[in-house]
Amino acid sequence: MAKRKSSISNVSLLKWKEPISVVYSNSAELIRPFCFNYGQANDTPQGSNFHSYYISLEDSPENKGFCSSITILFNLIQDAFLFVRRSFFALLGAVSGNSLAGRAAQLTQVQNFGDNPSGTGMYIYVPTKLAAKPPIIVAIHYCTGTAQAYYQGSPYAQLADQKGFIVIYPSSPHSGTCWDVSSQKSLKHNGGGDSNAIANMVTYALKKYNADPKKVFVTGSSSGAMMTNVMAATYPELFAAATAYSGVPAGCFVSSSGAVDAWNSTCAQGNVDQSAAYWTNVVKNMYPGYSGARPRFQVYHGSIDTTLRPNNYRESIKEWTGVFGFDATKPQTVKNNFLPMDTLLISGVQGISALNVGHTVPINGAQDMAWFGL
């Protein structure tokens, strides 16, 4: 199976001849080196040989709990800020229906992009300085979100201005604006669901803008991260790489009744524990007969997520390492004490569990660009 490679920077712990679960605390950068520590985590699944590592804040007799206190304070402030920012941009998007103030290019709705079986909305951002053969990023919003809100609240449009790529922002047609990651329509290649509609958006943009078919990427948050997993499974031929912020494995939210846009509490609460072989079959059954290249996959998840429990992070790592045929029980690591100095070429699967972070893992635009090779 062909494997794509990309230059990666700003990664805390790296290995990628074989995959590994990598744990990275966003807080560590704030007060390093006073509280900087490297170690091996003890939160691996029972009965497994997964190895998790972390970059974290650690107390010592000298700092008398300062690091723990600043970590808690930082995360409270971060969660509050992200909530306010998300709410503000959602309101702004609803009121103005448009883009960031002062931006030369604008977010535009596309009405006729081809077959749209689920009635999914398509919005696109095309920067004024478009690359000659532009890459495409598909950025998929969270539950209660919209294309406009994700455009406002994520860094991709600003990065598009800098780098000349196109951003597609799908908008969910469902009540509550979650994505259908439960029905067979969406969990099958050309099945007629949301995933089918999003794939057709990509095909439309590739043709209209003479975009680079080797540089198409997909990312999303929460429900959008779930759909990111589904897109990578159902349309692997379209994407070179994917990044999922706080999602679940492709197929984990499947509805036994075939319901569209159904909630799966068993999966959400982290009560699904399957083998890599099981998840590999789930992915391959979403596109039977496909034997081509698969997109590299990056997973972000908060270690104290109570909406989509952290076991979904571990199951996602199982799923994508299984798909790539990696042996996740034999990880290798490269210690990086000088974050973010080191740069390595990697391929396959990367996992980042954000220490002491809940469901809202902040989007790291610089990391995304590095993972995508942009």
Write out the catalytic residue numbers.
222
Residue 279's Cβ-side half-sphere holds a number of Cα atoms within 13 Å equal to 26
- Cβ-contact 79, 87 below 8 angstroms: no
Q: Which residues of 175-209 are buried (b: 16+ CB within 10 A; e: fewer)?
A: eebbbbbbbebbbbbebebbbbbbbbbbbbbbeeb
Tokens of 329: 């029980």
With contact defined as beta carbons under 8 Å apart, do 236 and 297 qualify? no
DSSP 128-139: SS--SS--EEEE
Q: How far apart are CA 21 and CA 14, in angstroms?
A: 9
Record the tokens describing residue 209, joined without a space: 């803008």
List the Cα angle 343/236/315 in 5-degree steps: 70
Comparing CA positions, the residue from 137, 222, 241 lying closest to residue 176 is 222
CA-to-CA separations, 200 to 82, 133, 184, 203, in angstroms, rounded: 32, 19, 18, 5
CA distances from 177 to 57, 151, 262, 321 (A): 37, 15, 12, 30
Which residue from 202, 194, 193 is spatially nearest to 167, judged by alpha carbons? 202
Which segments within 190-261 are labelled E, that is strand? 216-221, 241-245
**Residue 291, Cβ neighbours under 10 Å: how many?**
7
The dihedral through the CA atoms of 223, 229, 232, 235 has a sign that is negative
